[in-house]
A and B are shown apart, each in its own frame.
Chain A
Protein backbone atom coordinates (compact mmCIF):
# COMPACT_ATOMS: atom_id res chain seq x y z
CA UNK A 1 0.00 0.00 0.00
CA UNK A 2 2.82 2.39 0.68
CA UNK A 3 4.88 1.43 -2.30
CA UNK A 4 3.55 4.44 -4.13
CA UNK A 5 5.18 6.65 -1.54
CA UNK A 6 8.54 5.33 -2.56
CA UNK A 7 7.69 5.59 -6.22
CA UNK A 8 6.62 9.14 -5.59
CA UNK A 9 9.86 9.92 -3.81
CA UNK A 10 11.77 8.70 -6.84
CA UNK A 11 9.68 10.94 -9.04
CA UNK A 12 10.37 13.96 -6.89
CA UNK A 13 14.13 14.33 -6.74
CA UNK A 14 13.77 18.04 -6.22
CA UNK A 15 11.21 17.77 -3.43
CA UNK A 16 11.96 20.89 -1.45
CA UNK A 17 11.38 19.43 2.01
CA UNK A 18 12.95 16.58 3.86
CA UNK A 19 11.29 13.51 2.44
CA UNK A 20 11.94 11.27 5.45
CA UNK A 21 10.04 13.74 7.61
CA UNK A 22 7.03 13.88 5.29
CA UNK A 23 7.03 10.17 4.56
CA UNK A 24 7.08 9.06 8.19
CA UNK A 25 4.34 11.54 9.01
CA UNK A 26 2.17 10.05 6.27
CA UNK A 27 2.95 6.57 7.54
CA UNK A 28 2.01 7.43 11.10
CA UNK A 29 -1.20 9.11 9.91
CA UNK A 30 -2.22 6.11 7.83
CA UNK A 31 -1.15 3.55 10.41
CA UNK A 32 -3.09 5.22 13.21
CA UNK A 33 -6.21 6.06 11.20
CA UNK A 34 -6.45 2.81 9.24
CA UNK A 35 -5.97 0.71 12.37
CA UNK A 36 -8.49 2.80 14.29
CA UNK A 37 -11.02 2.54 11.48
CA UNK A 38 -10.57 -1.23 11.13
CA UNK A 39 -11.10 -1.77 14.85
CA UNK A 40 -13.99 0.70 14.87
CA UNK A 41 -15.64 -1.14 12.00
CA UNK A 42 -15.33 -4.48 13.80
CA UNK A 43 -16.94 -2.90 16.86
CA UNK A 44 -19.53 -0.85 15.00
CA UNK A 45 -21.00 -3.34 12.52
CA UNK A 46 -22.36 -5.79 15.12
CA UNK A 47 -23.81 -2.88 17.07
CA UNK A 48 -25.43 -1.43 13.95
CA UNK A 49 -26.83 -4.84 12.99
CA UNK A 50 -28.15 -5.48 16.49
CA UNK A 51 -29.75 -2.05 16.63
CA UNK A 52 -31.13 -2.38 13.11
CA UNK A 53 -32.65 -5.82 13.65
CA UNK A 54 -33.93 -6.03 17.16
CA UNK A 55 -36.32 -4.12 19.34
CA UNK A 56 -35.45 -3.67 22.98
CA UNK A 57 -35.87 -1.21 25.79
CA UNK A 58 -33.39 1.63 25.58
CA UNK A 59 -32.89 1.29 21.83
CA UNK A 60 -33.90 4.90 21.27
CA UNK A 61 -31.56 6.05 24.01
CA UNK A 62 -28.69 4.09 22.46
CA UNK A 63 -29.39 5.52 19.03
CA UNK A 64 -29.40 9.00 20.57
CA UNK A 65 -26.04 8.34 22.24
CA UNK A 66 -24.55 7.21 18.93
CA UNK A 67 -25.90 10.24 17.13
CA UNK A 68 -24.42 12.50 19.79
CA UNK A 69 -21.12 10.65 19.53
CA UNK A 70 -20.98 11.36 15.80
CA UNK A 71 -20.47 15.03 16.53
CA UNK A 72 -18.39 14.73 19.67
CA UNK A 73 -15.54 17.30 19.70
CA UNK A 74 -12.20 15.63 19.14
CA UNK A 75 -10.37 17.66 21.80
CA UNK A 76 -12.84 16.48 24.43
CA UNK A 77 -12.30 12.89 23.31
CA UNK A 78 -8.55 13.53 23.45
CA UNK A 79 -8.81 14.80 27.01
CA UNK A 80 -10.93 11.87 28.14
CA UNK A 81 -8.55 9.39 26.53
CA UNK A 82 -5.59 11.24 28.07
CA UNK A 83 -7.11 10.94 31.54
CA UNK A 84 -7.75 7.26 30.86
CA UNK A 85 -4.26 6.37 29.67
CA UNK A 86 -2.38 8.82 31.89
CA UNK A 87 -0.16 7.37 34.55
CA UNK A 88 -2.83 8.41 37.06
CA UNK A 89 -5.71 7.02 35.01
CA UNK A 90 -7.30 3.54 34.90
CA UNK A 91 -5.04 2.39 32.05
CA UNK A 92 -1.97 4.12 33.48
CA UNK A 93 -0.03 0.90 33.98
CA UNK A 94 0.03 0.31 30.22
CA UNK A 95 2.20 3.40 29.64
CA UNK A 96 0.24 4.54 26.63
CA UNK A 97 0.62 8.29 26.93
CA UNK A 98 2.28 9.82 23.84
CA UNK A 99 2.13 6.57 21.85
CA UNK A 100 0.48 5.63 18.59
CA UNK A 101 -1.68 3.16 20.50
CA UNK A 102 -3.19 5.99 22.55
CA UNK A 103 -3.85 7.88 19.33
CA UNK A 104 -5.58 4.83 17.89
CA UNK A 105 -7.71 4.63 21.02
CA UNK A 106 -8.70 8.26 20.69
CA UNK A 107 -9.56 7.84 17.02
CA UNK A 108 -11.63 4.74 17.74
CA UNK A 109 -13.72 6.79 20.15
CA UNK A 110 -14.15 9.39 17.41
CA UNK A 111 -14.73 7.10 14.44
CA UNK A 112 -16.83 4.31 15.95
CA UNK A 113 -19.98 6.41 16.50
CA UNK A 114 -19.77 7.73 12.95
CA UNK A 115 -19.35 4.25 11.49
CA UNK A 116 -22.10 2.86 13.72
CA UNK A 117 -24.50 5.69 12.95
CA UNK A 118 -24.08 5.65 9.18
CA UNK A 119 -24.04 1.81 9.05
CA UNK A 120 -27.21 1.74 11.11
CA UNK A 121 -28.94 3.96 8.57
CA UNK A 122 -27.67 1.73 5.74
CA UNK A 123 -28.69 -1.50 7.47
CA UNK A 124 -32.12 -0.14 8.40
CA UNK A 125 -32.79 0.78 4.79
CA UNK A 126 -32.45 -2.83 3.63
CA UNK A 127 -35.83 -4.28 2.72
CA UNK A 128 -37.35 -6.73 5.20
CA UNK A 129 -37.92 -9.09 2.25
CA UNK A 130 -34.20 -9.58 1.90
CA UNK A 131 -33.79 -10.69 5.52
CA UNK A 132 -36.82 -12.95 5.11
CA UNK A 133 -35.44 -14.50 1.93
CA UNK A 134 -32.10 -15.32 3.59
CA UNK A 135 -33.89 -16.75 6.62
CA UNK A 136 -36.36 -18.87 4.71
CA UNK A 137 -33.65 -20.34 2.50
CA UNK A 138 -32.17 -21.82 5.64
CA UNK A 139 -29.92 -19.01 6.80
CA UNK A 140 -28.95 -18.79 10.44
CA UNK A 141 -28.93 -15.46 12.29
CA UNK A 142 -25.31 -15.07 11.22
CA UNK A 143 -26.20 -15.74 7.59
CA UNK A 144 -28.98 -13.16 7.71
CA UNK A 145 -26.56 -10.64 9.24
CA UNK A 146 -23.99 -11.36 6.51
CA UNK A 147 -26.58 -10.96 3.77
CA UNK A 148 -27.63 -7.65 5.30
CA UNK A 149 -24.03 -6.46 5.37
CA UNK A 150 -23.62 -7.43 1.73
CA UNK A 151 -26.82 -5.70 0.71
CA UNK A 152 -25.86 -2.58 2.66
CA UNK A 153 -22.27 -2.66 1.41
CA UNK A 154 -22.35 0.75 -0.27
CA UNK A 155 -23.84 2.36 2.80
CA UNK A 156 -21.33 0.57 5.03
CA UNK A 157 -18.45 1.58 2.75
CA UNK A 158 -19.68 5.16 3.06
CA UNK A 159 -19.77 4.72 6.83
CA UNK A 160 -16.22 3.41 6.93
CA UNK A 161 -15.05 6.28 4.73
CA UNK A 162 -16.83 8.82 6.90
CA UNK A 163 -15.10 7.30 9.92
CA UNK A 164 -11.75 7.37 8.15
CA UNK A 165 -12.27 10.97 7.11
CA UNK A 166 -13.05 11.96 10.67
CA UNK A 167 -10.10 10.00 12.05
CA UNK A 168 -7.39 11.19 9.68
CA UNK A 169 -8.46 14.81 9.63
CA UNK A 170 -8.92 15.42 13.34
CA UNK A 171 -6.19 17.24 15.18
CA UNK A 172 -7.29 17.83 18.77
CA UNK A 173 -7.36 14.25 19.99
CA UNK A 174 -4.10 12.99 18.47
CA UNK A 175 -2.28 16.15 19.54
CA UNK A 176 -3.28 15.74 23.18
CA UNK A 177 -2.71 12.00 23.55
CA UNK A 178 0.07 11.63 20.99
CA UNK A 179 2.17 14.66 21.84
CA UNK A 180 3.16 15.39 18.22
CA UNK A 181 6.54 13.71 18.65
CA UNK A 182 9.19 13.49 15.95
CA UNK A 183 12.83 12.54 16.44
CA UNK A 184 15.82 14.83 15.77
CA UNK A 185 16.34 13.14 12.38
CA UNK A 186 12.79 14.08 11.42
CA UNK A 187 11.34 10.59 11.87
CA UNK A 188 7.81 10.88 13.14
CA UNK A 189 6.79 8.89 16.15
CA UNK A 190 3.38 10.33 16.91
CA UNK A 191 3.28 13.23 14.50
CA UNK A 192 0.44 13.04 12.01
CA UNK A 193 -0.38 15.15 8.99
CA UNK A 194 -2.79 17.26 11.00
CA UNK A 195 -0.54 17.88 14.00
CA UNK A 196 2.39 18.53 11.66
CA UNK A 197 0.32 21.08 9.76
CA UNK A 198 -0.50 22.80 13.03
CA UNK A 199 3.14 22.79 14.10
CA UNK A 200 4.48 24.04 10.78
CA UNK A 201 1.87 26.80 10.70
CA UNK A 202 2.86 27.78 14.26
CA UNK A 203 6.45 28.04 13.13
CA UNK A 204 5.50 30.10 10.13
CA UNK A 205 6.43 27.33 7.68
CA UNK A 206 3.29 27.94 5.71
CA UNK A 207 4.62 26.42 2.52
CA UNK A 208 5.32 23.05 4.13
CA UNK A 209 2.02 23.28 5.99
CA UNK A 210 0.20 23.76 2.70
CA UNK A 211 2.00 20.83 1.09
CA UNK A 212 1.11 18.60 4.04
CA UNK A 213 -2.47 19.82 3.75
CA UNK A 214 -2.54 18.94 0.06
CA UNK A 215 -1.13 15.48 0.83
CA UNK A 216 -3.86 14.98 3.42
CA UNK A 217 -6.58 15.86 0.92
CA UNK A 218 -5.08 13.63 -1.77
CA UNK A 219 -4.77 10.78 0.72
CA UNK A 220 -8.43 11.02 1.67
CA UNK A 221 -9.40 11.11 -2.01
CA UNK A 222 -7.26 8.07 -2.85
CA UNK A 223 -8.64 6.05 0.06
CA UNK A 224 -12.19 7.00 -0.92
CA UNK A 225 -11.61 5.91 -4.51
CA UNK A 226 -9.99 2.64 -3.41
CA UNK A 227 -12.75 1.67 -1.01
CA UNK A 228 -15.56 2.51 -3.41
CA UNK A 229 -13.78 0.60 -6.16
CA UNK A 230 -13.41 -2.42 -3.89
CA UNK A 231 -17.12 -2.26 -3.05
CA UNK A 232 -17.91 -2.29 -6.75
CA UNK A 233 -15.78 -5.27 -7.67
CA UNK A 234 -16.14 -7.43 -4.60
CA UNK A 235 -19.60 -8.83 -5.03
CA UNK A 236 -20.83 -7.50 -8.29
CA UNK A 237 -20.61 -10.88 -10.10
CA UNK A 238 -23.20 -10.16 -12.78
CA UNK A 239 -23.28 -8.28 -16.03
CA UNK A 240 -25.67 -5.36 -15.94
CA UNK A 241 -28.32 -4.97 -18.58
CA UNK A 242 -28.71 -7.12 -21.60
Chain B
Protein backbone atom coordinates (compact mmCIF):
# COMPACT_ATOMS: atom_id res chain seq x y z
CA UNK B 1 0.00 0.00 0.00
CA UNK B 2 1.73 3.13 -1.09
CA UNK B 3 -0.84 5.85 -1.43
CA UNK B 4 0.71 9.09 -2.51
CA UNK B 5 -0.77 11.93 -0.52
CA UNK B 6 -1.22 14.21 -3.51
CA UNK B 7 -3.05 11.76 -5.75
CA UNK B 8 -5.11 10.53 -2.82
CA UNK B 9 -6.12 14.09 -2.04
CA UNK B 10 -6.77 14.96 -5.66
CA UNK B 11 -9.40 12.23 -5.87
CA UNK B 12 -10.95 13.20 -2.56
CA UNK B 13 -10.76 16.92 -3.31
CA UNK B 14 -12.63 16.58 -6.56
CA UNK B 15 -15.61 14.95 -4.95
CA UNK B 16 -15.70 17.44 -2.09
CA UNK B 17 -15.56 20.41 -4.44
CA UNK B 18 -18.36 18.98 -6.51
CA UNK B 19 -20.62 18.37 -3.55
CA UNK B 20 -20.11 21.70 -1.82
CA UNK B 21 -22.85 24.09 -2.81
CA UNK B 22 -22.77 27.22 -0.59
CA UNK B 23 -20.21 29.97 -0.71
CA UNK B 24 -18.84 29.93 2.79
CA UNK B 25 -20.82 26.82 3.52
CA UNK B 26 -17.81 24.66 4.04
CA UNK B 27 -16.61 26.86 6.89
CA UNK B 28 -19.77 26.67 8.86
CA UNK B 29 -19.92 22.96 8.16
CA UNK B 30 -16.41 22.51 9.48
CA UNK B 31 -17.09 24.45 12.62
CA UNK B 32 -20.38 22.74 13.21
CA UNK B 33 -18.79 19.36 12.80
CA UNK B 34 -16.10 20.31 15.29
CA UNK B 35 -18.72 21.61 17.67
CA UNK B 36 -20.72 18.38 17.70
CA UNK B 37 -17.85 16.36 18.99
CA UNK B 38 -16.37 19.45 20.58
CA UNK B 39 -12.96 17.88 20.41
CA UNK B 40 -9.80 19.12 18.87
CA UNK B 41 -6.35 17.85 19.58
CA UNK B 42 -3.37 20.07 18.93
CA UNK B 43 -0.21 18.23 17.98
CA UNK B 44 3.02 20.11 17.67
CA UNK B 45 5.63 18.24 15.74
CA UNK B 46 8.64 18.51 13.49
CA UNK B 47 8.67 19.39 9.84
CA UNK B 48 10.01 15.93 8.92
CA UNK B 49 6.95 13.99 10.08
CA UNK B 50 4.58 16.42 8.45
CA UNK B 51 6.37 17.19 5.20
CA UNK B 52 6.77 13.53 4.34
CA UNK B 53 2.99 13.15 4.42
CA UNK B 54 3.12 10.54 7.19
CA UNK B 55 0.87 12.41 9.61
CA UNK B 56 -1.87 12.87 7.03
CA UNK B 57 -2.00 9.11 6.61
CA UNK B 58 -1.94 8.38 10.34
CA UNK B 59 -4.35 11.12 11.39
CA UNK B 60 -7.09 10.32 8.89
CA UNK B 61 -8.03 6.96 10.48
CA UNK B 62 -7.63 8.45 13.97
CA UNK B 63 -10.08 11.19 13.11
CA UNK B 64 -12.46 8.64 11.63
CA UNK B 65 -12.34 6.40 14.67
CA UNK B 66 -12.47 9.01 17.43
CA UNK B 67 -14.27 11.88 15.73
CA UNK B 68 -11.45 14.11 16.87
CA UNK B 69 -9.79 16.67 14.64
CA UNK B 70 -6.03 16.66 14.91
CA UNK B 71 -4.58 20.13 14.39
CA UNK B 72 -1.03 19.47 13.33
CA UNK B 73 1.39 22.34 13.75
CA UNK B 74 4.76 21.52 12.23
CA UNK B 75 7.47 23.64 13.75
CA UNK B 76 10.75 22.00 14.58
CA UNK B 77 11.65 20.16 17.75
CA UNK B 78 12.69 23.18 19.82
CA UNK B 79 9.65 25.28 18.90
CA UNK B 80 7.28 22.32 19.21
CA UNK B 81 8.44 21.66 22.78
CA UNK B 82 8.30 25.36 23.66
CA UNK B 83 4.72 25.62 22.39
CA UNK B 84 3.86 22.63 24.59
CA UNK B 85 5.62 24.24 27.57
CA UNK B 86 3.26 27.21 27.17
CA UNK B 87 0.30 24.85 27.27
CA UNK B 88 -0.63 25.67 23.68
CA UNK B 89 -0.49 22.08 22.47
CA UNK B 90 -1.70 18.77 23.87
CA UNK B 91 0.84 16.33 22.55
CA UNK B 92 4.32 16.60 21.05
CA UNK B 93 6.03 14.37 18.49
CA UNK B 94 9.70 15.20 18.14
CA UNK B 95 13.11 13.68 17.53
CA UNK B 96 15.70 14.93 20.00
CA UNK B 97 15.90 12.69 23.03
CA UNK B 98 18.00 15.13 25.04
CA UNK B 99 15.42 17.90 24.57
CA UNK B 100 12.53 15.52 25.27
CA UNK B 101 14.21 14.42 28.50
CA UNK B 102 14.63 18.03 29.52
CA UNK B 103 10.94 18.63 28.80
CA UNK B 104 9.93 15.65 30.92
CA UNK B 105 12.35 16.46 33.73
CA UNK B 106 10.91 19.95 34.00
CA UNK B 107 7.50 18.35 34.55
CA UNK B 108 5.87 19.56 31.34
CA UNK B 109 5.61 16.16 29.69
CA UNK B 110 4.34 12.78 30.85
CA UNK B 111 4.00 9.29 29.39
CA UNK B 112 6.71 9.41 26.77
CA UNK B 113 6.76 6.59 24.23
CA UNK B 114 9.28 5.57 21.62
CA UNK B 115 7.37 5.89 18.36
CA UNK B 116 9.52 5.12 15.37
CA UNK B 117 12.94 5.82 13.99
CA UNK B 118 14.78 6.45 10.85
CA UNK B 119 18.28 7.76 10.46
CA UNK B 120 20.31 10.72 9.44
CA UNK B 121 22.54 10.77 6.42
CA UNK B 122 25.32 13.10 5.42
CA UNK B 123 24.58 14.36 1.93
CA UNK B 124 26.55 16.41 -0.52
CA UNK B 125 27.15 16.93 -4.20
CA UNK B 126 28.30 13.97 -6.26
CA UNK B 127 31.82 15.34 -6.82
CA UNK B 128 32.37 15.26 -3.03
CA UNK B 129 35.12 17.91 -2.67
CA UNK B 130 36.10 16.80 0.85
CA UNK B 131 36.20 13.14 -0.15
CA UNK B 132 34.02 11.75 2.63
CA UNK B 133 32.11 9.20 0.56
CA UNK B 134 31.91 5.81 2.20
CA UNK B 135 33.46 6.80 5.53
CA UNK B 136 32.49 4.44 8.34
CA UNK B 137 32.21 7.01 11.12
CA UNK B 138 30.10 10.15 10.89
CA UNK B 139 32.57 11.96 13.13
CA UNK B 140 35.43 11.23 10.72
CA UNK B 141 33.40 12.63 7.86
CA UNK B 142 32.60 15.83 9.74
CA UNK B 143 36.21 16.21 10.85
CA UNK B 144 37.31 15.94 7.22
CA UNK B 145 34.74 18.52 6.10
CA UNK B 146 36.06 20.87 8.79
CA UNK B 147 39.69 20.26 7.90
CA UNK B 148 39.15 20.85 4.19
CA UNK B 149 36.86 23.77 5.03
CA UNK B 150 34.25 22.46 2.60
CA UNK B 151 30.98 24.30 2.78
CA UNK B 152 28.48 22.84 5.27
CA UNK B 153 24.98 24.18 5.76
CA UNK B 154 23.45 23.73 9.19
CA UNK B 155 19.75 23.92 9.97
CA UNK B 156 20.62 26.36 12.74
CA UNK B 157 17.03 26.32 13.98
CA UNK B 158 17.16 24.37 17.23
CA UNK B 159 15.37 21.49 15.53
CA UNK B 160 15.96 17.82 16.23
CA UNK B 161 18.27 17.57 13.25
CA UNK B 162 20.18 20.64 14.40
CA UNK B 163 20.52 19.18 17.90
CA UNK B 164 21.82 15.93 16.46
CA UNK B 165 24.29 17.79 14.23
CA UNK B 166 25.69 19.81 17.11
CA UNK B 167 26.14 16.59 19.09
CA UNK B 168 28.06 15.05 16.19
CA UNK B 169 30.40 18.05 15.83
CA UNK B 170 31.00 17.83 19.54
CA UNK B 171 31.82 14.13 19.27
CA UNK B 172 34.12 14.85 16.32
CA UNK B 173 35.99 17.38 18.41
CA UNK B 174 35.28 20.22 16.01
CA UNK B 175 34.66 23.61 17.56
CA UNK B 176 32.15 24.98 15.06
CA UNK B 177 31.59 28.17 17.00
CA UNK B 178 35.14 29.10 15.97
CA UNK B 179 34.52 27.71 12.50
CA UNK B 180 35.07 29.77 9.42
CA UNK B 181 33.06 30.85 6.45
CA UNK B 182 32.60 27.26 5.39
CA UNK B 183 30.00 26.69 8.12
CA UNK B 184 26.64 28.36 7.40
CA UNK B 185 23.57 28.44 9.61
CA UNK B 186 20.43 28.60 7.48
CA UNK B 187 17.84 28.93 10.22
CA UNK B 188 15.39 27.11 7.95
CA UNK B 189 13.53 23.84 7.60
CA UNK B 190 15.06 20.67 6.19
CA UNK B 191 13.57 21.19 2.73
CA UNK B 192 15.02 24.69 2.38
CA UNK B 193 18.40 23.58 3.67
CA UNK B 194 18.56 20.68 1.21
CA UNK B 195 17.66 23.05 -1.62
CA UNK B 196 20.33 25.50 -0.49
CA UNK B 197 22.97 22.80 -0.13
CA UNK B 198 22.07 21.58 -3.60
CA UNK B 199 22.43 25.03 -5.11
CA UNK B 200 25.68 25.82 -3.33
CA UNK B 201 27.32 22.41 -3.63
CA UNK B 202 27.48 22.14 0.15
CA UNK B 203 27.26 19.26 2.64
CA UNK B 204 24.53 18.93 5.18
CA UNK B 205 23.07 16.52 7.69
CA UNK B 206 19.57 15.45 6.69
CA UNK B 207 16.98 13.05 8.01
CA UNK B 208 16.58 10.27 5.52
CA UNK B 209 12.83 10.79 5.17
CA UNK B 210 12.97 14.38 4.00
CA UNK B 211 15.98 13.62 1.81
CA UNK B 212 14.18 10.75 0.10
CA UNK B 213 11.02 12.76 -0.39
CA UNK B 214 13.04 15.47 -2.16
CA UNK B 215 15.66 13.38 -3.89
CA UNK B 216 14.01 13.62 -7.28
CA UNK B 217 14.18 17.43 -7.19
CA UNK B 218 17.77 17.85 -6.08
CA UNK B 219 21.19 16.55 -7.10
CA UNK B 220 22.51 15.69 -3.65
CA UNK B 221 23.75 12.17 -2.88
CA UNK B 222 24.13 10.22 0.31
CA UNK B 223 27.85 10.16 1.17
CA UNK B 224 27.65 8.70 4.66
CA UNK B 225 24.83 6.24 5.31
CA UNK B 226 22.89 5.99 8.53
CA UNK B 227 22.22 2.81 10.54
CA UNK B 228 19.19 1.86 8.43
CA UNK B 229 21.54 1.12 5.56
CA UNK B 230 24.32 -0.24 7.76
CA UNK B 231 25.85 3.08 8.73
CA UNK B 232 27.01 4.12 12.22
CA UNK B 233 24.59 4.06 15.18
CA UNK B 234 25.54 7.67 15.86
CA UNK B 235 23.27 8.69 12.98
CA UNK B 236 20.21 7.04 14.53
CA UNK B 237 17.12 9.28 14.48
CA UNK B 238 14.53 8.13 16.99
CA UNK B 239 11.12 9.82 17.26
CA UNK B 240 9.27 10.04 20.56
CA UNK B 241 5.78 11.18 21.49
CA UNK B 242 4.93 12.88 24.79
CA UNK B 243 1.67 14.09 26.31
CA UNK B 244 1.62 17.50 27.98
CA UNK B 245 1.24 17.18 31.74
CA UNK B 246 -2.37 18.11 32.65
CA UNK B 247 -1.27 18.84 36.21
CA UNK B 248 0.87 21.69 34.88
CA UNK B 249 -1.54 22.94 32.20
CA UNK B 250 -5.06 22.05 33.18
CA UNK B 251 -6.50 23.30 29.89
CA UNK B 252 -4.83 20.62 27.77
CA UNK B 253 -6.83 17.74 26.34
CA UNK B 254 -4.95 15.05 28.17
CA UNK B 255 -7.41 12.23 27.52
CA UNK B 256 -7.37 12.93 23.79
CA UNK B 257 -3.60 13.17 23.86
CA UNK B 258 -3.40 9.75 25.48
CA UNK B 259 -5.92 8.35 23.01
CA UNK B 260 -3.71 9.66 20.23
CA UNK B 261 -0.56 8.24 21.77
CA UNK B 262 -2.39 4.93 22.25
CA UNK B 263 -3.49 4.93 18.65
CA UNK B 264 -0.21 5.93 17.07
CA UNK B 265 1.81 3.45 19.11
CA UNK B 266 -0.78 0.74 18.42
CA UNK B 267 -0.84 -1.91 15.70
CA UNK B 268 -2.96 0.00 13.14
CA UNK B 269 -0.87 3.16 13.10
CA UNK B 270 2.42 1.27 13.42
CA UNK B 271 1.49 -0.64 10.30
CA UNK B 272 0.68 2.61 8.48
CA UNK B 273 4.12 3.90 9.49
CA UNK B 274 5.72 0.67 8.28
CA UNK B 275 3.97 0.89 4.94
CA UNK B 276 4.34 4.63 4.37
CA UNK B 277 6.60 5.17 1.41
CA UNK B 278 7.68 8.08 -0.71
CA UNK B 279 8.97 7.32 -4.18
CA UNK B 280 8.88 3.65 -3.29
CA UNK B 281 11.13 4.01 -0.24
CA UNK B 282 10.20 3.40 3.36
CA UNK B 283 10.82 6.53 5.44
CA UNK B 284 10.12 5.53 9.04
CA UNK B 285 10.52 2.31 11.02
CA UNK B 286 7.95 1.65 13.75
CA UNK B 287 9.40 1.04 17.17
CA UNK B 288 6.50 1.00 19.60
CA UNK B 289 5.45 -2.64 19.46
CA UNK B 290 7.76 -5.04 21.22
CA UNK B 291 7.34 -8.14 23.33
CA UNK B 292 10.17 -6.84 25.44
CA UNK B 293 9.45 -3.13 25.87
CA UNK B 294 12.31 -0.84 26.53
CA UNK B 295 11.43 0.69 29.92
CA UNK B 296 13.87 3.47 29.29
CA UNK B 297 11.39 5.05 26.88
CA UNK B 298 9.09 6.25 29.67
CA UNK B 299 11.59 8.29 31.61
CA UNK B 300 14.57 10.52 30.94
CA UNK B 301 17.56 8.49 29.84
CA UNK B 302 19.56 7.22 32.78
CA UNK B 303 16.99 8.37 35.28
CA UNK B 304 16.69 4.95 37.04
CA UNK B 305 20.42 4.65 37.35
CA UNK B 306 20.69 8.02 39.04
CA UNK B 307 18.08 6.95 41.55
CA UNK B 308 19.97 3.74 42.20
CA UNK B 309 23.17 5.69 42.68
CA UNK B 310 21.45 7.86 45.21
CA UNK B 311 20.11 4.82 47.07
CA UNK B 312 23.47 3.11 47.32
Interface residues, chain A, with chain B CB atoms under 8 Å away = 1-3, 6, 9, 17-21, 23-24, 27, 31, 86-88, 92, 95, 97-98, 179-187, 189-190, 199, 201-204, 206
Q: Would B69 and A183 count as touching, CB distance under 8 A?
A: yes
Q: Are B88 and A21 in contact (CB under 8 A)?
A: no
Ranked nearest first, the 8 interchain pairs of A and B with the lowest CB-CB distance are A20-B13, A87-B87, A179-B73, A18-B13, A18-B9, A184-B60, A202-B191, A184-B56
A interface footprint on B178-222 (CB within 8 Å = 1, 0 otherwise): 000000000011111011000000000000000001100110000
Residues of A within 8 A of B194 (CB): 204
A186 & B27 in contact (Cβ 8 Å cutoff)? no
Q: Are B57 and A184 closer than 8 Å at their CB atoms?
A: yes
Report 6 cross-chain contacts, Cβ distance below 8 Å, ordered by A residue.
Answer: A6-B20, A9-B18, A86-B86, A181-B71, A189-B30, A203-B51
By DSSP majority rule, is chain B's interface helix, strand, loop, or mixed?
A: helix
B16 at the interface (CB under 8 A from A): yes
- Indicate whether A186 sits within 8 Å of B251 (C-beta atoms), given known contacts A6-B17, A31-B24, A179-B71: no
A149 to chain B, nearest CB (A): 28
Interface positions of B (Cβ within 8 A of A): 6, 9-10, 12-14, 16-18, 20, 23-24, 26-27, 30, 42, 47, 51, 55-57, 59-60, 63, 69-74, 83, 86-88, 188-192, 194-195, 213-214, 217-218, 249, 251
**Could you say which residues of chain A place their CB within 8 Å of the CB of B214?**
203-204
> By the criterion CB–CB under 8 Å, are B24 and A27 in contact?
yes
Q: With A20-B17, A181-B73 known to touch, is A204 a contact of B217 (CB < 8 Å)?
A: yes
Nearest CB in chain B to that of A31: its residue: B27
Report A174 CB to chain B, min CB distance, Å: 12
In the bound complex, CA of A222 to CA of B18 (Å): 24
CB of A80 to closest CB in B, whole Å: 14
Cα-based distance from A97 to B84 in the complex (angstroms): 12
CA distance A37 to B249 in the complex (A): 34
Q: Which chain B residue lies CB-closest to A97?
A: B88
Q: Find out whether the CB atom of B12 lies under 8 angstroms from the CB atom of A185.
A: yes
- Given contacts A97-B88, A184-B55, whether A2 and B17 have CB atoms under 8 Å apart is no
Closest to B87 in A: A87
Q: A21 contacts which of B9, B26, B60, B217 (Cβ < 8 Å)?
A: B9
CA distance A182 to B51 in the complex (A): 12
> B60, A185: Cβ atoms under 8 Å?
yes
B24 near A98 (CB under 8 angstroms)?
Answer: no
User: Which residues of A are found within 8 Å of B55, using beta-carbon distances?
Assistant: 184
Q: Kindly name the residue among A31, A179, A201 whose own CB sees the greatest number of chain B CB atoms within 10 A.
A: A179
Residues of B within 8 A of A202 (CB): 47, 51, 188-192
A7 CB to closest chain B CB, in angstroms? 11
A203 touches B191 (CB 8 A): yes
Asked if B73 and A20 make an inter-chain contact with CB atoms under 8 angstroms apart, the answer reads: no
